[in-house]
Amino acid sequence: MKKIIKFVFALTFISTLLLSVACKKDSDKENKGLYSFSNTEYTGLANVGNPYFPRPLSLRFSEGNDVAAWSHLTLSVWR
């Protein structure tokens, strides 16, 4: 039983170590945009229109004031 516990602990430690090394942020690339969120992307859900079916949404903030938004097209009448 102790061998199994040691093996699980070693496997957990090694996988945690590998994940922390693999997910390092590159220090060579500096964020040269105007804002702190420049050159970033948000991917998630937009709760717009039908509350039962949220739409997928992707926002891309470029270096300047440009924002690119991708989602499903919804034609509706706003009053």
Provide the whole-model pTM: 0.44
SS3 76: coil
Residue in 72, 66, 78 with CA at minimum distance from that of residue 45: 72
What pLDDT, on a 0 to 100 scale, did the predictor assign at position 54? Answer: 77
Over residues 22-71, the pLDDT tens digits come to 665 555 555 567 777 788 888 888 777 666 777 888 888 888 888 888 87
- Both tokens of 13, joined, read 């430690």
The pLDDT-based confidence of 79 (bands split at 50, 70, 90) is low
What pLDDT, on a 0 to 100 scale, did the predictor assign at position 40? Answer: 87
What pLDDT, on a 0 to 100 scale, did the predictor assign at position 6? Answer: 87
- Both tokens of 77, joined, read 């009448």
| CA-to-CA separations, 48 to 25, 27, 40, 45, 61, in angstroms, rounded | 33, 37, 23, 9, 21
The domain limits of the chain are 39-73
Edge-to-edge strands of the sheet including 67-71? 40-46, 55-61, 67-71
